[in-house]
Amino acid sequence: MPGHEVVGRVVGKGEKVTRFELGDRVGVPWLGGTCKECSYCTRRAENLCDKPVFTGFTIDGGYATHTIANADYCFAIPDELNDIHAAPLLCAGLIGYRAFAMCGDAMRIGFYGFGASAHILAQLATGIGCKIAAFTRPGDEEGQKFARQMGCVWAGGSDMLPPFELDAAIIFAPAGELVPQSLAAIRKGGVVVCAGIHMSDIPAFPYELLWGERKLRSVANLTRADGDSFFTAIADHPVQTQVETFALKDANEALKRLREGSISGAAVLIP
């Protein structure tokens, strides 16, 4: 049962659950549980757990009117966020935030691919003073316009270089060919963060693109600490998710539109 960004109210709980009460509004993220015993969990890297479970992938997700979740891995949803606009924060927002944290003190950042995650992160990043360049599919003028509306100071095709050198780049699109392109756009000592779970093969590229102590790294899942930090950050710098809603029975249409890239922002299913 897919659906990895779930918002709902607690209608029942186990006798050992103490974090939430009946009626509380909670969010269920991608990371549905970890073993809490492996070397990664014990050193606060639970996102790399050897035996994780994932919402909508290895355990039941949110394509339903009810679901069961581990309370230890859920988040309280702030009152100022309604269900529809809170849902995309639980993966697109959280994974984007983890990728953003990996950029360190970078202030000039490129976002390659401007969809659900990038449009949330652009608002947060610009809110704290970052200068964001957005890269879309070549010729996607609507996507570039949307990026500028979200606060990006420049938007263009992924085959272009921005008008200023980047301190860092985050690749949201699952396209391996963007790795050498983004390395060519960042300064010496900069970092390129691959934020997707999957990516097509990265083509060979000359060592000079990596030389100069540039760094290439990936993001894997999230930790509960990421969630706590993220919700604190957006309390200080509010974001507004751009969503298109679909009835639960129209889930296949929503997925089709996502594959086509014809949704600006995030798609949300309403049970």
Tokens of 52: 């994780």
List Cβ neighbours of 1 (8 Å cut-off, separation of 6 or more): 56, 60, 61, 62, 63, 64, 67
Looking at residue 260, its pLDDT comes to: 85
Q: Among 109, 128, 84, 118, which Cα is nearest to 238's?
A: 128
| Residue 269: Cβ within 10 Å count | 22
Q: Check if the beta carbon of residue 235 is closer than 8 Å to that of residue 128.
A: no
Task: Output helix, strand, coil percentages for the chain, rounded to the nearest 5.
Answer: 30, 25, 45
> pTM higher than 0.85, yes or no?
yes
Q: Check if the beta carbon of residue 26 is closer than 8 Å to that of residue 77.
A: yes
| Residue 61: Cβ within 10 Å count | 21
Start-to-end Cα distance in the chain = 14
Residue ranges of the chain with per-residue pLDDT less than 50: none
pLDDT in tens, 3-48: 899 999 999 999 999 999 999 999 999 999 999 999 999 999 999 9
Looking at residue 129, its pLDDT comes to: 96
pLDDT in tens, 51-81: 999 999 999 998 888 999 999 999 999 988 9
Helix (H) or strand (E) holding 100, with range, is: helix 92-101
Looking at residue 193, its pLDDT comes to: 98
Q: Among 55, 77, 73, 69, which Cα is nearest to 14's?
A: 69
Hey, is 178 helix, strand or coil? helix
Looking at residue 46, its pLDDT comes to: 97
